[in-house]
Chain A
Amino acid sequence: MSLIVDIRKRLGDFTLEAAFEAEKGITGILGPSGCGKSMTLKCIAGVERPDAGHIELDGVTLFDAARKIDFPPQRRQVGYLFQNYALFPNMTVRQNILCGLRRENSREARERRAREIVRLMRLEGLEEHRPAQLSGGQAQRAALARILVSEPKLLMLDEPFSALDGHLRDSLKLELRDLLKSFGREVLLVTHSRDEAYDLCGRIAVMDAGRLLTVKPTKALFADPGSVEAAVLTGCKNIAAARKTGPYEVEVPDWGVRLQTAREVREDLKAIGIRAHYFSPAARQNRMRVRYAEEMEEPFELILQFRTEGQSPDSPPIWWRLPKDKRPQIFPEEIGINPVNILLLY
């Protein structure tokens, strides 16, 4: 039971190249806006046609350019939750849900299953409402209800929270997580938010500029993103070009320092990354002399920005993020970083 995707599509000067496999459970597709995430989902759903490649779901070939197989979207049994939920505005919630039940022949069964899903998705009392009268959360539940009654083999969610207010997001995230667990099949979740990806997805595929870069288990990806793009997308704030100077040593010219690493460095190293949380004045290794530059205040955290003594003037200051109550009385003259926390980026 799995989804296998290997597709290419040209759109003007943009080329989409995505190859990955998704197992049961939630696979996140993480990438900046316009990187081709939604286009990938559309190709899988069959509403866009790739130029070349192959798409297979649970052993059934949905698309194969070489063998001229191209199932219409109606026959792919892929559930697609659009960013704006795409509820039909001229129909009530009930009519929208019945649209997902058109494959069911008996009218009685259709009505029964519509009632069931209305109860399950807590839409009671809203059956005769039009989409325009629903709140963001209700619209999302109605759209999910409409998809779930159609019994898709694969569920794809395109930025499911982007249309919602911030305070709704967290509670809906929990709701959706429980729902997706009970769905028990492959789920693809497209997002540009690393928090959403980290929280909901077991595995994450990183996408940038039309290319799918890596697919890794979530924890492994955050611990070792592997590429500059993946480091940026997983929220790494301090990234600088670097080159190998020893099996466990790198030089960072912009910062004017050499750093010890815990992982062995490969020859093709491009850059290193250090997450803003991991600096410490007390760390004994990789100490560098630093100067306070600037600070930014968030509700519960502080971002202290500093520059190293030998840092080139055109490289941006380094971010150090810490809880407000941990703010040092005097800004330290030296700061260190544990070699384990140096990300090697290729």
Chain B
Amino acid sequence: MTIDWYPLLNSLRIAAISCVLVFFSGIFFAYYAHRLPRTVKGLLDVVLTLPMVLPPTVCGYFLLLLFGAKRPLGIFLAQFGVKFVMTWYGGVLAAAVVAFPLMYRTARGAFESFDETLAYAGQTLGLSNSYIFWRIRMPACRQGILAGTVLAFARALGEYGATSMLIGYTPGRTATISTTVYQLWRTDDEAGALFWVLVNLAISTVVLLAVNLLEDKQRRGAKR
């Protein structure tokens, strides 16, 4: 039997690209949110965290409202040949929206526990603000940011609800591992479903092992 590896490729690229997007946007929002006045921060926090507590299908519904082929934004984007509905990169959008709060919240927690006197010390020594951010603040918050990234990647890889709403399931075009598992199970291909379950399990295990190794190495480095 020949295996169609498309779902693996598609899932990995969706997870990887959305993870990169979420990494930077999550850090950006986390950094600016943690220094906002309390009331504004509370409001922004609710909006940015909603995708985490809403059912993913509801997120998908809102995405369709925004980007649907007959919606203003969808029509506008279609002029540039960008179509988020029923395309693989629509899956990137869906995964990013759902995974974003995980990155945002963990990174914000890390930034909040950062000892601000380190930044002050850097400033009085004449270090530029971007040097302080990348070389002092980020390394100090490394644990939280790494944890957020892993969570976001895992969530993006396993995204089903919003993805199936926005891009559906088309073999060879929009199929991801999780939509394939459901589709094969639904069509009584139990062995096929199990195969993709095992593939997913393998990826998740490898990711978690890599993270643990990385953390160990850094811990040893810090102690040296």
Is the A/B pair a real complex?
yes
Residues of A within 8 A of B (CB): 42, 45-47, 72-80, 82-84, 86, 88-90, 99-100, 102-103, 130, 132, 146-147, 150, 152
Query: Which chain B residues border A76 with CB–CB below 8 Å?
Result: 124
Q: B120 near A73 (CB under 8 angstroms)?
A: yes
Docked-complex contact A86 and B127, CB < 8 angstroms: no
Contacts of A73 in B (CB 8 A): 120, 123-124
Within 8 Å CB of A79, what residues of B?
A: 124
Q: Is B82 an interface residue (CB 8 A)?
A: no
Chain B 29-59 interface mask (CB, 8 Å, partner A; 1/0): 0000000000000000000000000000000
Q: Does B136 contact A (CB under 8 A)?
A: yes
Chain B contact residues, majority secondary structure: helix
In the complex, whether B222 has a CB less than 8 A from a CB of chain A is yes
The residue of chain B having its C-beta at the shortest distance from the C-beta of A45 within the complex is B124
B140 surroundings in chain A (CB, below 8 A): 88-90
Additional A-B contact list (6), CB under 8 Å, known A88-B121, A130-B222: A42-B120, A74-B127, A88-B122, A90-B136, A102-B125, A150-B125
Confirm or deny: B172 has a beta carbon within 8 angstroms of a beta carbon on chain A: no
Q: Give complex CA distance A100, B118 in Å.
A: 13
Which residues on the A side are within 8 Å of B115 (C-beta)?
84, 86
The size of the chain B interface, using a CB distance under 8 A, is 21
Q: Give the docked Cα–Cα distance between A76 and B124 (Å).
A: 7
- A78–B124 touching, CB < 8 Å: yes
Residues in B with CB closer than 8 Å to A83 are 117
Instruction: Report which B residues bind A (CB closer than 8 A).
Output: 115, 117-118, 120-128, 131, 135-136, 139-140, 142, 222-224
CB distance from A44 to the nearest CB of B (A): 10
Contacts of A77 in B (CB 8 A): 126
14 A-B contacts, Cβ less than 8 Å apart?
A47-B123, A78-B124, A80-B120, A80-B124, A84-B115, A86-B117, A86-B118, A88-B118, A88-B121, A90-B139, A99-B125, A102-B125, A103-B126, A150-B125
Q: State which of A84, A103, A130 has its C-beta within 8 Å of the C-beta of B117.
A: A84
Chain B contacts for A100, CB-based, 8 A: 125-126
Please give the distance in Å from A242's CB to the nearest CB on chain B.
43
Nearest-neighbor residue (CB-CB) of B142 within chain A: A90
Cross-interface CB contact of A146 among B125, B128, B135, cutoff 8 Å: B125
On chain A, the residues within 8 Å of B123 by CB distance are 45-47, 72-74
